[in-house]
Amino acid sequence: MNNFERNYWLSYAEFINDFKRLSYLGISIPLVSPYYVLIYENEKIHDHLLNSKPNTGTKRSLLKKEKQLQSLFDVYLSPVKQKITKNKGKVVFYDNVLRIPAPLLKAHFPSSSTILLKPAVKKVGKEDGVVVDGLNRYQSIKDNTIKAYERKAEKYIDAAKPHPIYSNRNFRTRFINQIPKIMNQIVAAKKFFESNSVSCLVVGTTNSSDTRILSLVASSKGIPTICLQHGVIMLEFGYLPLVATYQAIYGKFESKWYSSKGAPDHALKEIGHPRFDEISVRKPMKPDAFRSYFGMSAKDKAVLLVIHHLETDFPQSFLKQIGQKKNIKVIVKQRNGKQRNSAKTVELQKSFPHIKFADDTHLYDLLHNVDAVVSYESTIILEAMLAGKPVFLWKLKTLAESTTNYYKGMAEYMYESPQPMIKHLMITLEGKQNQKWEEKRKEFLAGHYTQDPRTAIEQLKALIDSITL
């Protein structure tokens, strides 16, 4: 744990403690506030966390070892939780980065005993054979109540001693702006569990305010919760602290990593993720249709290039150099959501107008039909290996100061400049060193993804059954 990480977690715990009086219906507002979002892209706070040292020996001793990290937050999480009991009711899947394919959910969880809860729906109904409800339907709070809490928060911030984070105008504004949403989510979560009999809650993360609130309200009623791992753990800030009763993880790497942070071993379940099941069970686009769609000939080799929305220097250089190679077709995969339209991404598109961008093609159609994948250190690298494809990684500069080194075992396939990568890539596309690559792929997956012969959705079902039936 470096100085930035230690300072981040200590400042987060300090924030929860300093504003603990700001709670609503028994739920601490700072405890469920997405702290990383509050300080994200704030240079002054970033520099403070990077360079400063905890101002007292006592404070520093709270996190002298990595193993103390989970307990730092259990002080605030544990009082909310009640002893887990087997409750009769429905299994609730909350659809925020849940990413369980609808056909798999329908096939393994009967609609009569399942609710797919979404952040917002217009009306209750069925979607792909699964009962769908909306958290927004349970929101009911008066504006004057929210205004009173906003004033209370401002009062607490004003009363705080001069502080390098709380005194930051951007931080203050973000925190105050979060309060109405958080209060509505607390009310909605409370009313949802009062209105529905629930035996288990499954979420895709516990690091957003809505997922953490739902998990804590469920735990306060003795309802077990399961949090799926929503991506490979490159930065630890999106995966800690452990809030759910059980953390469903990909494999051995995460088991060791969570344990090193003080998470109890009994709470860690190596089951993979149901979305990866589709790599093997979903019927992909046929090769002829794929080539036709992307304008490829039978002689062409397809390379999937996954780009980052901020760091595009490497892709720029890669595309220039690979463009000199014959019979190589590069297909670019962008980040999803708003990040597709980042200034850097738009600039890259303009620089290479002839390159095909895979905006609407399913990732697994791409993985099954390309010959190799080039990407920054993303979850797609793991997915490509599960699909049996050769991978080549480029390092993100933004991860330099804080990273879990998830892909450390792939060092010989990781590059800081395109030229040597392209040389290695061309050798692979020519069919050389394939045996060596296959051995490396199997070795990496053995340590990073469950080797259970059952699919992840089958393992998830077994886990749910074990704690509900």
Tell whether 225 and 119 lie within a shared domain: yes
Tell me the pTM.
0.95
Question: SS3 helix, strand, coil % of the chain, rounded to 5?
Answer: 50, 15, 35
The pLDDT, as a whole number, for residue 57 is 43
- Please give the angle made by the CA atoms of 225, 29 and 242, to the nearest 5 degrees: 35
The pLDDT, as a whole number, for residue 61 is 62
Average pLDDT over residues 188-192: 98
Average pLDDT over residues 212-223: 98
The pLDDT, as a whole number, for residue 54 is 58
Residue 460 falls inside a structural domain: no
Instruction: Give burial (CB, 10 Å; 0-12/13-18/19+) of 53.
Output: exposed
Residue 456 falls inside a structural domain: no
The pLDDT, as a whole number, for residue 391 is 98
Least confident of 187-196, 325-334, 442-451: 325-334
pLDDT band at 402 (very low <50, low <70, confident <90, very high): confident
CATH at 76: 3.40.50
**Sequence-separated (6 or more) residues with CB below 8 Å from residue 162:** none
| Among candidate residues 352, 355, 365, the one with its CA nearest the CA of residue 296 | 355
Tell whether 298 and 234 lie within a shared domain: no
Tell whether 286 and 202 lie within a shared domain: no
For 112-127, the pLDDT digits (tens) are: 999 999 999 988 999 8
**The length of the chain, given as a count of residues:** 469
Tell whether 104 and 174 lie within a shared domain: yes
CATH at 292: 3.40.50.2000
pLDDT band at 224 (very low <50, low <70, confident <90, very high): very high
The pLDDT, as a whole number, for residue 241 is 97
The pLDDT, as a whole number, for residue 58 is 42
Residue 458 falls inside a structural domain: no
Least confident of 141-150, 329-338, 427-436: 329-338
Average pLDDT over residues 182-200: 98
As a whole number of angstroms, the distance between CA 448 and CA 308 comes to 23
- Res 415 pLDDT > 60: yes
- Res 16 pLDDT > 50: yes
Tell whether 199 and 162 lie within a shared domain: yes
Percent of the chain with pLDDT over 70: 97
Q: How many domains does the chain divide into?
A: 2
Domain ends where: 252, 272, 292?
272
The pLDDT, as a whole number, for residue 25 is 96
The pLDDT, as a whole number, for residue 342 is 80
- Res 80 pLDDT > 50: yes
For 31-72, the pLDDT digits (tens) are: 999 999 999 889 999 999 988 875 544 455 678 899 999 999
- Res 28 pLDDT > 70: yes
Q: Hey, which residues does 202 pair with through a beta bridge? A: 93, 226
Q: H/E element holding 268?
A: strand 268-270
Residue 454 falls inside a structural domain: no
Residue 414 falls inside a structural domain: yes
Residue 363 falls inside a structural domain: yes
Domain ends where: 243, 272, 301?
272
As a whole number of angstroms, the distance between CA 408 and CA 430 comes to 26
Tell whether 337 and 368 lie within a shared domain: yes
The pLDDT, as a whole number, for residue 52 is 82
Tell whether 188 and 144 lie within a shared domain: yes
- Res 11 pLDDT > 90: yes
Average pLDDT over residues 435-452: 96
Residue 453 falls inside a structural domain: no
| Among candidate residues 265, 239, 234, 238, the one with its CA nearest the CA of residue 252 | 265
Q: Which position has the higher pLDDT, 311 or 171?
A: 171
Average pLDDT over residues 133-147: 95
Average pLDDT over residues 261-274: 98
- Please give the angle made by the CA atoms of 77, 81 and 82, to the nearest 5 degrees: 160
Tell whether 265 and 346 lie within a shared domain: no
Domain ends where: 233, 254, 272?
272
Tell whether 289 and 242 lie within a shared domain: no
The pLDDT, as a whole number, for residue 339 is 64
Q: Which domain holds residue 252?
A: 3-272
Q: How far is CA 135 from CA 95, 178, 190, in A?
A: 10, 17, 10
Tell whether 234 and 284 lie within a shared domain: no
Average pLDDT over all residues of the chain? 93
As a whole number of angstroms, the distance between CA 306 and CA 376 comes to 7
The secondary structure of residue 43, as a DSSP letter, is: H
Tell whether 284 and 158 lie within a shared domain: no
Tell whether 220 and 185 lie within a shared domain: yes
Residue 242 falls inside a structural domain: yes
For 310-355, the pLDDT digits (tens) are: 888 999 999 999 988 999 999 999 877 656 778 888 888 888 988 8
